[in-house]
Amino acid sequence: MAGLYNSSKLKVVVLVISLLIGTASIWYTNELVYKLAQREQQQINLFAKGLQAVADPNNDGSISFLFQEIIEANNSIPVILTDENENPISDKNIDVPKGLSEINRIAFLKNQISEMKQVQRPILVEPAEGLKNYIFYKNSFLLTQLIYYPYIQLTIIALFAIITFVAYSYSKRSEQNRIWVGLAKETAHQLGTPLSSLIAWIEIFREDPDFKNKEVLDELEKDVNRLEMITARFSNIGSTPSLHEELLFSTIEHTVGYLKTRLSKKIKISLTNILPIDERVKINKPLFDWVIENLCKNAVDAMDGTGDIRIHLFPLNENKIGIDVSDTGKGMIKSRFHEVFKPGFTTKKRGWGLGLTLVKRIVEDYHLGKIAVHHSEVGKGTTFRIVMNRA
């Protein structure tokens, strides 16, 4: 739980820092855009004043020269000079397509004027009494780029962050898988020696004519066989299991029968089936037994050793079948439905929180099925649903 908390806390910190960087970037760029827009407006105002001055009959050649310098200095702001009826007279920095006839050229410039109206108010110029001209303009290409730059920058940062997060998660998951596989194989190895010893002792007792309680030996042998199967399960983790068509009901019935004799009498397990009795699914029997066992033991823990476990087999559609494992335990809130399958998640004082993680991996990775919390209510119980493909 501490690991999950720290991981969530780190994600929140990274998110907050990213938002602060993004906000600062947008704010700073908007400041630059505002200042550049003001500068461009000043240029256009200067252009308008120069045009007004050139039209003055009292001006000398120096004013005309200065005005020409102003026009030449503007190599970025799109400008169109029109008459009072908004008919284009001249233009500057407008990308007019080549090869247009004069009529089409005028139509293109008028379309540009309509766009400019949406961006900036035109400037009125009165070069002579009773004569009006208008200067239409819009943001330069540089200013337009600058406006959208922070959003493009943030998109690239977000994509980079997503790729980094996915790569990190994949690497972390691979590392965890290697640890679990190593731990499982080491556990299987360590179990091998005492198992061999137990098998030998059972054989010794069987051959002893003075040993009368053969029923105890039969039960011990069942448990040893079970331990051998568990050892084989641990040993095979990390390897691709072989799947075979098995009778689903009898497979689960066998597992339930084994659990009934080894759980508290305060726990009642019931198995109902509305599938055909000969319904088959492709499974690895030892691993699938482990799934049912883990779900039942998880239910026992949730009920504190007292309650009912109900296993129900039913058809979902022509290709899928469902297996519901329900208990009358503590239940859980909806936000925990996905968390229960995460490594390390446990509500018990003891345990590593790997049971349901392994169940999910066996069902989804090995058997290509699905498992999820189908329903849960605090104080009333939980239902896990497994969805399997029909053979």
pLDDT tens digits along 313-334: 999 998 999 999 999 999 999 8
Residues 267 and 198 in one domain: no
The answer on 104 and 59 residing in a single domain is yes
If asked whether residues 277 and 314 sit together in one domain, one would say yes
Contacts of 17 (CB under 8 A, 6+ apart): none
Condensed to tens digits (0 to 9), the pLDDT of residues 2-17 reads: 444 555 566 677 677 7
pLDDT of residue 346: 63
Question: Within a domain: residue 379?
Answer: yes
- Looking at 153, 186, 218, the residue that finishes a domain is 218
**Range with the poorest average pLDDT among 149-158, 219-228, 233-242:** 233-242
pLDDT of amino acid 282: 94
Distance of CA 171 to the CA centre of its chain: 16
Amino acid at 238: G
Residue 164 lies in a domain: yes
Domain co-membership, 198 together with 294: no
Judge whether 237 lies within some domain.
no
Residue-wise pLDDT for 32-59, tens only, equals 777 777 777 777 776 666 666 656 666 5
Token code pair at residue 40: 């461009």
In a domain, 236, yes or no: no
Total of domains in the chain: 3
Over range 222-227, report the average pLDDT. Answer: 80
Q: Please indicate, yes or no, whether residues 384 and 248 belong to a single structural domain of this protein.
A: yes
Considering 35-44, 192-201, 265-274, the range whose residues carry the highest mean pLDDT is: 265-274
Residue that wins the pLDDT comparison between 127 and 309 = 309
Find the mean pLDDT for residues 155-170. Answer: 76
- Quick one: pLDDT band at residue 381, thresholds 50, 70, 90? very high
Q: Is pLDDT larger for residue 100 or for residue 191?
A: 100
**Residue 231 resides in a domain:** no
Domain containing 307 — which CATH number? 3.30.565.10
State whether 161 and 274 are in the same domain: no
> At 380, is the secondary structure helix, strand, or coil?
coil
Residue 3: predicted pLDDT? 46
C-alpha of 383 from chain center: 25
Please name every residue paired with 124 in a beta bridge, in sequence order, or none if there are none.
134
195 and 311 together in one domain: no
* Assigned domain for 226 exists: no
Question: Stretch 92-120: mean pLDDT, rounded?
Answer: 89
Spatial distance between the Cα atoms of 122 and 135, rounded to a whole number of angstroms: 5
Of 183, 218, 253, the last residue of a domain is 218
Q: Name the pLDDT band for 270 (thresholds 50, 70, 90).
A: very high
Cβ neighbours of residue 73 closer than 8 Å, sequence gap 6 or more:
43
**Which band of pLDDT confidence, cut at 50, 70 and 90, is reported for residue 20?**
confident
Helix, strand, coil shares of the chain, percent, nearest 5, are: 55, 20, 25
Per-residue pLDDT, 10: 62
Asked if residue 225 is part of any domain, the answer here is no
**Residues 27 and 103 occupy one common structural domain:** yes
Q: Residue 133 is part of a domain; what is its CATH number?
A: 3.30.450
Summarised one tens digit per residue, pLDDT across range 289-301 is 989 999 998 899 8
Q: Average pLDDT of the chain?
A: 80
Paired tokens of 353: 């929180």
23 and 126 co-located in one domain:
yes
Q: What is the pLDDT of residue 310?
A: 96
Same structural domain for residues 33 and 71? yes
Share of the chain above pLDDT 70, in %: 81
Task: List the domain range (segments joined by +) for residue 267.
Answer: 242-389
**Average confidence (pLDDT) over 22-38:** 74
Terminal Cα distance for the chain, rounded: 39
Tell me, yes or no, whether 29 and 133 share the same domain. yes
Closest to 248 measured CA to CA, from 293, 285, 281: 281
Q: Which of 46-55, 241-250, 376-385 has the lowest mean pLDDT?
A: 46-55
Residue 2 has a pLDDT of 45
CA distances from 300 to 139, 191, 264, 305, 337 (A): 71, 25, 9, 5, 18
**How far is Cα 373 from Cα 369, in angstroms, rounded to an integer?**
14
In the prediction, which pLDDT does 169 show?
A: 72
On whether both 251 and 287 belong to a single domain, the answer is yes
> Taking a C-beta distance cutoff of 8 angstroms, is the pair 77, 91 a contact?
no
Task: Quote the CA–CA distance of 217 and 201 in Å, as a whole number.
Answer: 10
Evaluate whether residue 223 is within a structural domain. no
Specify whether the CB–CB gap between 305 and 266 falls below 8 A.
yes
Band of pLDDT at residue 245, cut at 50, 70 and 90: very high
The β-bridge relationship of strands 123-128 and 244-247 is: unpaired
Asked whether the CA dihedral 303, 287, 323, 387 is positive or negative, the reply is: positive
pLDDT computed for residue 384 by the predictor: 96
